[in-house]
Structure 1
Amino acid sequence: MNKFLKKSASLALAVVLLTTGCAGNTVKEGESGSLSESSVSGNLPESYDGQSSGEYSVGGSPVGGESTYSSESSPASAESSSESYSGVESTESSSYSDNTQSSSSSISSSSSSSTSSVLSGGISCEVKTGNTWEESGNKCGSAEVIVKNNSGSAVGSWKVSFTVPNGFKITNSWGGNFSVNGSTVTVTNVDYNGNIPAGGSVSGGFNYSSPSALNSMGGSGSGSASSSSSSTQSSIPVQSSSGGYNPPAPTGEVKDLLKRSDKAVQGDDWLHTDGNKILDKNGKQVWLTGVNWFGYNTGTNTFDGLWNSQLVPSVKAIADHGFNLIRVPISVQLINQWAAGEYPRANYNNAYNPELNDMNSLEIFEYFLKLAEENGLKVMPDIHCAETDAMGHNVNLWYTDKVSVNDYYRALEWLASRYKNNDTIIAIDIKNEPHGKQNEQNKAIWNNSTDINNWKYTAETAAKKILAINPNVLIMVEGTEIYPKSKSNSDYKSQNADDYYFNWWGGNLRGVRDYPINLGSYQNKLVYSPHDYGPTVYQQPWFKNGYNYESLMRDCWNDNWLYIHKENIAPLLIGEWGGFMREPNLTWMTCMRKLIKNYHLNHTFWCYNANSGDTGGLVLDDFKTWDTEKYNFVREVLWQESGKFVGLDHAIPLGENGITLSSAKGL
């Protein structure tokens, strides 16, 4: 069977896309546009994270949330290729359940002609506003449009409308054809989401600029019911648009797909540190040069972009382009659902990825791990947020009212246990961008206390729990947003901003000098992982009067985190950096690339996703075509020897254009 079918015109796809921004292509009054999954910056605080760097993604929304947002056992022995990819014996895959939804549906794709009739009612929409901010005197923000089919019959196309303030402009949109006429916005379906089963829904969204505020609202619409006259149809299962579902028990084919590669040698790729270097088992210095791909943090419950693209060639393309590591943002909530045997629906194009249709969301993740291994790639899960939410990264801490600190620890322990015999996962970023300002009660602090919001204490506790289960995995520890200028304020009692150093969310590691992370006998598993962004994400003070490499070194990088590398304290991995290839951002991008190259800093570029609001991605809106200009820019800081990309697997070469770690000389 051809595993990569062409997209059917009658495919029902539930994709939630949520990104943020106030720039880019604009749909003005009287105009219309079919704008793909892209967006721009979000509601940025005065010392913003870089989270707007795409983490805003819901089933297709961005960073962080995306967008999208992190020991006594012996080394694992080699496993046979017939074993489950997870590396552990588990019965979870034999029966799936999801407490939120027990139904699934299927529709038929046909190559023949069809007739349609207009349904007079039953199609409605809900507009949910997200982040808001002001720019040039206008109210800017993001909104999600949820189109619901309550007609009792499947529809093959739809149109909805809703009211907005006069002068309203759409600056970016996705998941629909948007037009503005006076105070009315009209949205029609795009090719991949016209079909909505009875009771189902699809989603799109937009970013806007408006003279006055936009509030959440409802809207009306209509749809056309499609009936096929063909005698040759192929049934494509379509997952329901809300909640999860109860898929059948895994077939023999799914089990075969999850088997590890015959070429894999388990346990020979674990890494450790020495001073500011990351080394392999033989003491060879390696260079982690990776990329971020979000979606598991947002509600997509798989990677964003699979509504337009296929998983198999996408993973292969990342390896072929020379990235040797993929940082995967994910939520605590989703991990703990998996641990409980609950598998929220994964949102993807069923026709493009038919081999995934019999898999639950956990199996899709483990299928990705297998594909990564087959292509010589390594993986680093990133605890991007506590709750599954495109805006989850905006929450200051690693816990919420719904997700406790113990839930957070439990998720990390489950990850460590399930993949302790799986050296495809070589590192865990234990929390994306802890942050909070001096006047916020729930702010991340860094001192020698055992306070619940002390990130230093939490990071040590979390790391030791992981390493007690898997002593081989690297632990990535990010920074905070603020740090006291005086030790007399180490309790963070002052609410005066002048008493603190500010940096990007996750980018302030000044506390390491006073209170370094202590992992005891596992200190050689520690890597510090700051984030850094340019002025298109937020106009930080060090950008305002002009800047260059030397000023960035003086005003930001050196005292916040580069000293950790220079003083040989520990290795660094820049977990997020990236942006648009235009000024005022390009100068910063060039300086950051120079820094990474000069010091051979490990890094994971933000990001692969096209729908990263204020950074863009390495691929264009179809999630297949690479942005050649951006890729060629980043390529200069991908690990290469003699014109070949270097992977982190000793046995499997990195894609078609790379070599194994065994074949590399090392740094």
Structure 2
Amino acid sequence: MGLFKKTTAVLCLAAVAGTCFGGYSPASEKVNDTAFAAVDDSGDDWLHTKGSRIYDMNGNEVWLTGANWFGLNCSENAPHGLYARDVDDMLQSIADHGINIIRFPISTELLLSWMDGEPLPVSSVQASYNPPKDEVGEDGTVTPAGKYGNINRDFCEADGKTLKNSMEIFDIIMQKMKKYGIKALVDVHSPASHNSGHNYNLWYYEPTAEDCDGMATGHFSGKEITWDNWKDSITWLAEKYANDDTILAYDLKNEPHGKRGYDGSSCPANMAKWDDSTDKNNWKYSSEECAKSILKVNPHALILIEGIEQSPRFDRNATWNTADVFQPKAGEEKWYGAWWGGNLRGVKDLPVLPESGQIVYSPHDYGPSVYAQSWFDKDFSTETLLDDYWRDTWAYINSDEIAPLLIGEWGGHMDDGPNQKWMELLRDYMIDHHINHTFWCLNPNSGDTGGLLDTQFNNWDEAKYGLFEKSLWQTSSSGKYVGLDHQVALGKNGVSLNDFYSSYANSEGSNLDGGKKSDGKPVDSTPASPKPTESPKPTESPKPTESPKPTESPKPTESPKPTESPKPTESPKPTETPNPSEKAVYGDVNEDGKVDVTDLSTLALSLVDKKELKGNAFTNADVDGDGKVGLTDLATIRQYISKKIDKLGV
């Protein structure tokens, strides 16, 4: 979340100062990068996109409906609330309440520490298992293990009290989520591991001669976190989990933002922009390069790309270097305004990797209790919100079938007034238009939105949950929550994806697509044996730093009336023809004599980069024998590697 909520990821520490915490392992002790890498037993839950929808490997439509759980982005380096509640109890409750995916904000600094083999320490987590094993007294009395302390026991070392490091705890949480049928979405929330680190405009911090507004000293006091650090660290995590479909998606950066000052003094290099340049602060270019890097090591992953804050009015001769106008007259505005991360106008002419089949755009949207934007200055309705802001800022991406949307953050206080009205309008619009979403947030310690849980992370706010619950994927009449795992049901009142498509989709349907019933094909549960991937080389890890509070809120501007958006273009077709003298080895795209995940990566990158396959590589990739290579061939090879089909080629 941007603006004022960004300043108040309120610490839990003060409220629990008297709680006894476990210690943590020394950060200087090296750990094995891959020692705790999770390997899924089935590998059948990966997703892909087509038009505005997201589908499973058999072409069944899915709907991601979840919530945020922050803390890994903060100085505690762990999800908040684990000082008061056992992680299994927490995850069970989340699943039982129908949340099928959790968005985990994380910092690049924390990822770099894992990648470097020196995980940052954890605080504000209570973990004990006392005694760690049965104890027999002199009189023969047995004190069973865990009698005096048993909370988050899996976070403890063998002594029952020493806390494991931040990477080990993250890996344990990912493994535990499998039991409850919950999936994960990892969000790179900020460069620094700090509770206000998200206030920084960009996804990297590199002091340069272009720091013309004091970025180096006034906005961010941390050690350099380079553009490559950002890209390499999230790629490292994607490779670490390339064979584990618990983490389905990666949100490349939370709320890129920044705007021009009224006097033109703000440095253009310090604001996120969206153009056709290769400048590092160009979010379109940066997100595209990062997406390519991730898809190279995991072609299955969904890539979430947020918007920016401001974009110039090119129709009024504004450019990325034009100063804003203070209190402009109607018709003289030079910039379109938006929430941080909310402005996706650039996708219309400059989409990111449209041929990949893995891109999801992820704007954030908030109500008037966070900031009194201009589109709230009336008796607003769904239609006025569309006309004044939503349609041209992000909704056109869905309506024009360009790509799926996932509203990564929405939420706020229940005020029985304008903010609650806005939440209900956005909720209903997302339901009516199959828009994926993750609510902000589970945590009660989000300053100006509050959370779904109470101050001790135990009880649910029934009024707020009641509003939110209607937007969770559930069967139409029986009210079963639908999960994203094909084999494991979502909590106690949920069903697995296979159960839904075999028993509910055609009989009662769900609240997706207005209750429309559909046929679906359950996925075979035969375990796959994907080839493990190596972790990238470690790089130097930065130290934790402080980051200042924001000093200015953005000036809202009115959006113009909607204009017609272009239809998505088709993926380019390779022109290279097969070599008739060579016999095809279907699926062996990289021509190494075997068919495995490296062939998927080779084919995915050729489609993304629009590079033609030649000769035998083309012949081997054309597994359906139609004379061209595209997404259908990619999906078929993926099924073969996952052992869902036993033959490639015609």
TM-score bucket (shorter structure): 0.5 to 0.7
Counterpart pick for 2:126 among 349, 354, 360: 349
Q: Deviations over 1:87-124 (max 9, x none)?
A: xxxxxxxxxxxxxxxxxxxxxxxxxxxxxxxxxxxxxx
**1:361 equivalent in structure 2:** 166
Following superposition of structure 1 onto structure 2, how do residues 240-319 of structure 1 map, counting pairs within 5 Å? 245=27, 265-319=41-95
Are residues 489 and 456 of structure 1, via their aligned partners in 2, closer, same or farther at CA, if it must alter by over 3 Å?
A: farther
**1:508 equivalent in structure 2:** 343
CA RMSD across the alignment = 2.3
The letter for the 2-side match of 1:662 is: N
What is the alpha-carbon distance in structure 2 between the residues aligned to residue 464 and residue 533 of structure 1?
30
Return the structure number with greater strand share.
1
Correspondence 1:609 to 2:443: yes
Are residues 365 and 58 of structure 1, via their aligned partners in 2, closer, same or farther at CA, if it must alter by over 3 Å?
A: farther
Counterpart pick for 1:334 among 90, 110, 131: 110
What is the alpha-carbon distance in structure 1 between the residues aligned to residue 197 and residue 402 of structure 2?
32
The letter for the 2-side match of 1:480 is: I
**2:161 equivalent in structure 1:** none
What 5-or-longer segments of structure 2 have no aligned partner? 129-150, 158-163, 207-223, 326-332, 506-511, 513-650
The letter for the 2-side match of 1:421 is: N
**1:644 equivalent in structure 2:** 480
**1:422 equivalent in structure 2:** 244
What is the alpha-carbon distance in structure 1 between the residues aligned to residue 240 and residue 8 of structure 2?
28
The letter for the 2-side match of 1:474 is: L
What SS does structure 1 have at the residue aligned with 2:499? Answer: coil
Counterpart pick for 1:193 among 17, 30, 45: 17
Are residues 237 and 635 of structure 1, via their aligned partners in 2, closer, same or farther at CA, if it must alter by over 3 Å?
A: closer
1:266 is displaced (CA, Å) by 2.7
**1:437 equivalent in structure 2:** 259
Counterpart pick for 2:458 among 614, 624, 627: 624
Counterpart pick for 1:559 among 392, 398, 418: 392
1:516 is displaced (CA, Å) by 1.4
What is the alpha-carbon distance in structure 1 between the residues aligned to residue 2 and residue 81 of structure 2?
21
**1:592 equivalent in structure 2:** 426
What is the alpha-carbon distance in structure 2 between the residues aligned to residue 437 and residue 544 of structure 1?
22
Q: Deviations over 1:590-644 (max 9, x none)?
A: 1111111111210000000010111110100010111111111111010001310
What is the alpha-carbon distance in structure 2 between the residues aligned to residue 459 and residue 488 of structure 1?
28
Counterpart pick for 1:386 among 191, 207, 210: 191
1:502 is displaced (CA, Å) by 0.5
Does the CA-based 8 Å contact 2:9-2:195 persist in structure 1?
A: yes
Does the CA-based 8 Å contact 1:57-1:390 persist in structure 2?
A: yes
What is the alpha-carbon distance in structure 2 between the residues aligned to residue 195 and residue 620 of structure 1?
18
**1:238 equivalent in structure 2:** 23
**1:57 equivalent in structure 2:** 9
**1:183 equivalent in structure 2:** none
What is the alpha-carbon distance in structure 1 between the residues aligned to residue 490 and residue 409 of structure 2?
22
What TM-score comes out, normalization by structure 1 length?
Answer: 0.63
1:58 is displaced (CA, Å) by 6.6
What is the alpha-carbon distance in structure 2 between the residues aligned to residue 339 and residue 476 of structure 1?
22
Return the structure number with greater helix share.
2
What TM-score comes out, normalization by structure 2 length?
Answer: 0.65
1:194 is displaced (CA, Å) by 3.2
What SS does structure 2 have at the residue aligned with 1:640? Answer: coil
**2:597 equivalent in structure 1:** none
Correspondence 1:655 to 2:491: yes
What is the alpha-carbon distance in structure 2 between the residues aligned to residue 54 and residue 373 of structure 1?
31
Counterpart pick for 1:492 among 307, 310, 320: 320
Are residues 433 and 489 of structure 1, via their aligned partners in 2, closer, same or farther at CA, if it must alter by over 3 Å?
A: farther
Does the CA-based 8 Å contact 2:444-2:455 persist in structure 1?
A: yes
The letter for the 1-side match of 2:492 is: E
What is the alpha-carbon distance in structure 2 between the residues aligned to residue 419 and residue 339 of structure 1?
13
What SS does structure 1 have at the residue aligned with 2:103? Answer: strand
Length, aligned pairs only: 439
**2:138 equivalent in structure 1:** none
What is the alpha-carbon distance in structure 2 between the residues aligned to residue 459 and residue 315 of structure 1?
31
Q: Deviations over 1:505-535 (max 9, x none)?
A: 0100111112111254x2x100000000001
Does the CA-based 8 Å contact 1:379-1:426 persist in structure 2?
A: yes
1:248 is displaced (CA, Å) by 10
> Bigger CA drift: 346-355 or 637-646?
346-355
What is the alpha-carbon distance in structure 1 between the residues aligned to residue 451 and residue 155 of structure 2?
24
What is the alpha-carbon distance in structure 1 between the residues aligned to residue 346 and residue 426 of structure 2?
22
Correspondence 1:175 to 2:14: yes
**1:136 equivalent in structure 2:** none
What 5-or-longer segments of structure 1 have no aligned partner? 1-48, 61-173, 177-191, 197-235
What is the alpha-carbon distance in structure 2 between the residues aligned to residue 400 and residue 493 of structure 1?
21
Q: Deviations over 1:4-26 (max 9, x none)?
A: xxxxxxxxxxxxxxxxxxxxxxx
1:571 is displaced (CA, Å) by 0.3
Q: Deviations over 1:227-273 (max 9, x none)?
A: xxxxxxxxx74349xxx6467989xxxx9xx7979xx6432100000
Are residues 618 and 342 of structure 1, via their aligned partners in 2, closer, same or farther at CA, if it must alter by over 3 Å?
A: same
Does the CA-based 8 Å contact 2:37-2:171 persist in structure 1?
A: no
